[in-house]
Structure 1
């Protein structure tokens, strides 16, 4: 018997030859079909921009990088999620493929699997064989080397875009990012740290200019309103391209009762819509529904990446920053930041570096080193902050602000770090109210506002002080009530700013109501009640009700003296006010001289209260018909105040006003005219030409010119 067999196998078949009984089990593994992207020749983006706005300088640089002969370049477009990096890359891609004679290759680099499959598809496009690709996919040969082998040998110049490369370590670990004489590479990423991009040219992208931001809205919803309407909505959206695109897409796709831009703006700020971020996200259907296209999620991608890198504290720091405003925040404020155990003090520095490197925040200079975070981003972060974390976050934010704001700011220019806190105290109050924080946390935020309002007022910026105080009253009273002591003090601050701005009638009405509330709630001799008495006196005197005003000053002086003694700074201030209004009476002359001596001894000659007392004394002497006695005092006061605060500081202007009156009373018109001209110019600059005190100064000048010798 012959033992030989003749057989033939086709396809995946096999021929087995054996003697004896055999049990053969065979498994057939069929290689899957193509699993890479459907195309690398077309940008894989949700919605192409109708028209790229702004970015002129960046596009000029990138167009030059794809001109004939240009190569070996890597350009990294980095910035906050939603700032339009991919739109710029898309616009460059279109230019390169339609006008610059290049082939375009587009790869999603958001994760390792997408990057790998996309780059192997690039190799296939450039001529790699099936066998080579199979070997690379199976790990039998280096995949990145294969891709760059074919890119380097491309018979056509190319542009390669690596989009959404927010985890640059996957580019580095695989050796996927290289340069080539055959083409140009563009990377879009949120990662700003230069260490990830050696030898690359970095181009940073931020928000759009106001006019261009408005045009983005108009491009998408041209019939929804005017350019100015669009600009106002753009401001509310922080001019972030993603937010603008979402809003424009929403307006463009409404069917039932379409909104105008003005309607949309009202809904964002004060409309019945429960969540502005949710309203903005409703436009996502116009540009694709991925998480990258939602304001409520785009930042979370970066936070998740940071957590995966061992920096969960970056997310906690971002939630703390969401308690404040998007305006520049002095970095020194974060020196004491701690949310133990989520954010221990030692981890604040690496947490902040993580935010900076992922473009969630940026460093800016405003006289001080500051941190800036986008407002829409902060609103979105605040919206998603877990309820159980909110109280502690807000309390920490208030503690840090209180540490930065002086408890008793002096008169004169303030530390720039204090004036930079203005938007942040308002934002903190809004956040504590919106988060329904407890009474103690809201009171801490109100205390922050009070300190900063006081500092701004004492710097001489009365309009800013009025704006901040008015907003703080509105916010704090909603939670604490009009008669809370901190709200009463903020209401007094509103009155003080109104008075300084020349709105005497309004100040009078405010003060009367606050005084009545203080007497009822705190008692007639409480410090805040006495402060209200003293403040009410000044609009009364300016409106011709001198007797009532002097009685209130006397009440405040006597009350403070009983509480703290005659040498307490607040007692000295009240005594100085009394001197300025009563030194015409002989029995007060000795008290005036004693006051000046007390101020010099207790506070020093250069203290602002001492200078104010000397000014009040000189005014009193002049008002009493003793200009010759007043002249040396007022000259000294003007010199000291100008040296200490500058010529335009309100107290220095008050002193110059008194000097003008004294010189005029003595008939020294040439010098009186010289000082009156300075006074009119200063009052107009600081208070405006229509302010009562500016008009009074102009009246003095006119009188001196008509009374003095011809000029």
Structure 2
């Protein structure tokens, strides 16, 4: 069986026997042979929930060696997915090593099969209700990653959550177990286990210290580490603890409101960490720098490659210091670290107390802007790991003093989202980047024009065609004036304007724009440059849209051949050409040739881009249309159902592509003589197309015509 727990068994673990006994009765997978167990440990941060869960995992593993144990942090969607990927790799699931695989669905399905055997899944830090259940919008819809839906369920399985949020536990449908602070006897034993006996002073001061630390295990362990490392007695530590002024205590404690406050005492965790911060600053300034830098990143999976570089020996010493104080933990065989979130908050409080918060927020932003590569398909392994950290600093740290670093990082994060098919998030980043660049550089600066172009591309990808056309016309005009008519950036705008015109069915204008950009790109960049090949592909699309099918087929064959040569057979652009050639075959009725081409494109896009990327969904839609043309209606229905469901999730319910899938599914119902279902689907698509596209749009008229056909079959033509 499998053992995927990131921590060793804690030798200093004491007490909690009543809690452990209750958990050992509830948690083991065989407790209920008919249902998957769900149990939640609820308690204040620092109360020891994770260590209790860890002890339960080891006890279950010892009692039942055939039970697999997996550990997943639920800090954010990215860390959740990364943990699932590790599980998938441990289970040797096909596609688990490919970062484009829908790893969550893969692992969920694998563990939900009863033949996966007995397993325990520990979901640690499941605190954020929006992350678990989605975010409620103003229109009462719910959006988000819905991690609660990503959990496997098997009668042979059990899920153990740790959470600070009681509502999360209720929403997860888990049996709840509240964990309070330790009993004084347990807290004293924990202190003795972590400290040399000669450092423990008189009983009265020790009890007073434990009382000040609120008997919280995290605070006790941190205090013990400080005293042990410095040879400080408990009496001296208590003296230091009680000597600081109330203003400093308030400053350090005020961000812990959600975690609870205590009468007449200050937050013990913050006080413990403040003392340690000062010690680290005095003994290892580089470790203090790393701590301050990490306080502006997400808490999970901080790659060492993201830390500002220093000599290897100094880096090892600095990291060793932070590990010794247990502020960070190293992930096994990953070259990355986790930092406790409360340490981050305390570190930021410390920076504010020293009036250094703004300085370090800016330093962190500047370094991330330098470290984050210009995102491309080829270097995705790097920027995907950096992305959650850049998102965090952009979202949370507004008060920075380097607009250049911020606007460059916004642009690259936007590009990353765009490559991943997360167009709405890309639009947000591009808007902010454009706003900053216009403000600082002016409207005609080349960097400003780059942001305008990117925002136009995001508009186009979301079918906001009027906004996209306006943006690209404006950008093209400015680039021609500023850079010249043959500059590569100008030709990019020319091509992008063609895309929008084509999407608006202005095919002749689009063809003219494509021809011009192709001619100039061949002249300026060369016939095999990737941008030139993009213009070739787009011109081919214009040809088949205008029923110039022979020219379209010739152009797409040529483009596909060149892209395979220049970019490789699995590059996303090559797959676009493969798909385009399949479209031509479909249009001219060469269905037997089109079907394998569509299947190949879908298979490769799932592999390269992931199952939920918009381009992958296009391939699914095309294959569904192909099944329809081949009169394989049941297969077509299944494919269109899947595509509609995924497009609603990824693009939203009102995106034109989603409405296309809705219409296509209605057509399948009609051909399968499911007329009532067809009527419902076409009414819905007609209503939404009228709202989104307008009553005169060709797609709206298509829905109206399809609804008429259904109503005629039902003998209800008067109900249109």
Give the TM-score normalised by the residue count of structure 2.
0.53
Change (3 A) 1:430 1:328: farther
Pair 1:421-2:386 in alignment: no
Of 344, 350, 375, which aligns to 2:317? Answer: 350
Change (3 A) 1:574 1:595: same
8 Å CA contact 1:405–1:452 kept in 2: the answer is: no
Of 373, 390, 395, which aligns to 1:405? Answer: 373
| Equivalent position SS for 2:209 | strand
Cα distance in 1 for partners of 2:413, 2:590 equals 40
Pair 1:608-2:572 in alignment: yes
Pair 1:701-2:668 in alignment: no
Q: Deviation digits for residues 391-434 of structure 1, max 9, x if unmatched?
A: 9x957864555445354235999874143234256269845xx3
8 Å CA contact 1:418–1:455 kept in 2: the answer is: no
* Larger deviation, residues 520-529 vs 687-696: 520-529
**Counterpart position of 2:305:** 333
Q: Deviation digits for residues 459-516 of structure 1, max 9, x if unmatched?
A: 2222332333333434454444444434433343333333333433333333333333
* Larger deviation, residues 606-615 vs 586-595: 586-595
Cα distance in 2 for partners of 1:57, 1:643 equals 41
Change (3 A) 1:186 1:709: closer
CA shift at 1:613, angstroms?
Answer: 0.7
Cα distance in 2 for partners of 1:602, 1:162 equals 67
Q: Can you give the 5+ residue segments of structure 1 that lack an aligned partner in the other structure?
A: 1-52, 62-90, 106-141, 153-157, 166-182, 199-238, 250-285, 339-343
CA shift at 1:578, angstroms?
Answer: 1.7
**Counterpart position of 2:285:** 312
| Equivalent position SS for 1:405 | coil
**Counterpart position of 1:4:** none
Change (3 A) 1:668 1:511: same
Cα distance in 2 for partners of 1:381, 1:370 equals 20
- 1:419-568 alignment, distance < 5 Å: 419-424=387-392, 426=394, 430=398, 434-435=400-401, 437=402, 442-568=403-529
| Equivalent position SS for 1:657 | helix
Cα distance in 2 for partners of 1:416, 1:186 equals 32
> Number of residues paired by the alignment?
472
Report the structure number with the largest CA radius of gyration. 1
| Equivalent position SS for 2:574 | helix
**Counterpart position of 1:242:** 254
Q: Deviation digits for residues 259-285 of structure 1, max 9, x if unmatched?
A: xxxxxxxxxxxxxxxxxxxxxxxxxxx
**Counterpart position of 1:161:** 209
Q: Deviation digits for residues 40-94 of structure 1, max 9, x if unmatched?
A: xxxxxxxxxxxxx953994999xxxxxxxxxxxxxxxxxxxxxxxxxxxxx989x
Cα distance in 1 for partners of 2:373, 2:299 equals 17
CA shift at 1:305, angstroms?
Answer: 1.9
8 Å CA contact 1:499–1:539 kept in 2: the answer is: yes
CA shift at 1:547, angstroms?
Answer: 2.8
Of 632, 637, 656, which aligns to 1:673? Answer: 637
Of 203, 228, 237, which aligns to 1:196? Answer: 228
**Counterpart position of 1:78:** none
Change (3 A) 1:647 1:486: same
Cα distance in 2 for partners of 1:474, 1:589 equals 42
Cα distance in 1 for partners of 2:269, 2:628 equals 69
- 1:54-69 alignment, distance < 5 Å: 54-55=43-44, 58=47
8 Å CA contact 2:444–2:482 kept in 1: the answer is: yes
| Equivalent position SS for 1:409 | coil
Cα distance in 2 for partners of 1:189, 1:576 equals 63
Cα distance in 1 for partners of 2:219, 2:308 equals 37
Greater helix fraction, Structure 1 or Structure 2: 2
CA shift at 1:311, angstroms?
Answer: 1.3
Change (3 A) 1:354 1:635: closer
The root-mean-square deviation of aligned C-alpha atoms, in Å, is: 5.2
CA shift at 1:616, angstroms?
Answer: 1.5
| Equivalent position SS for 1:161 | helix
| Equivalent position SS for 1:421 | helix
Change (3 A) 1:388 1:376: closer
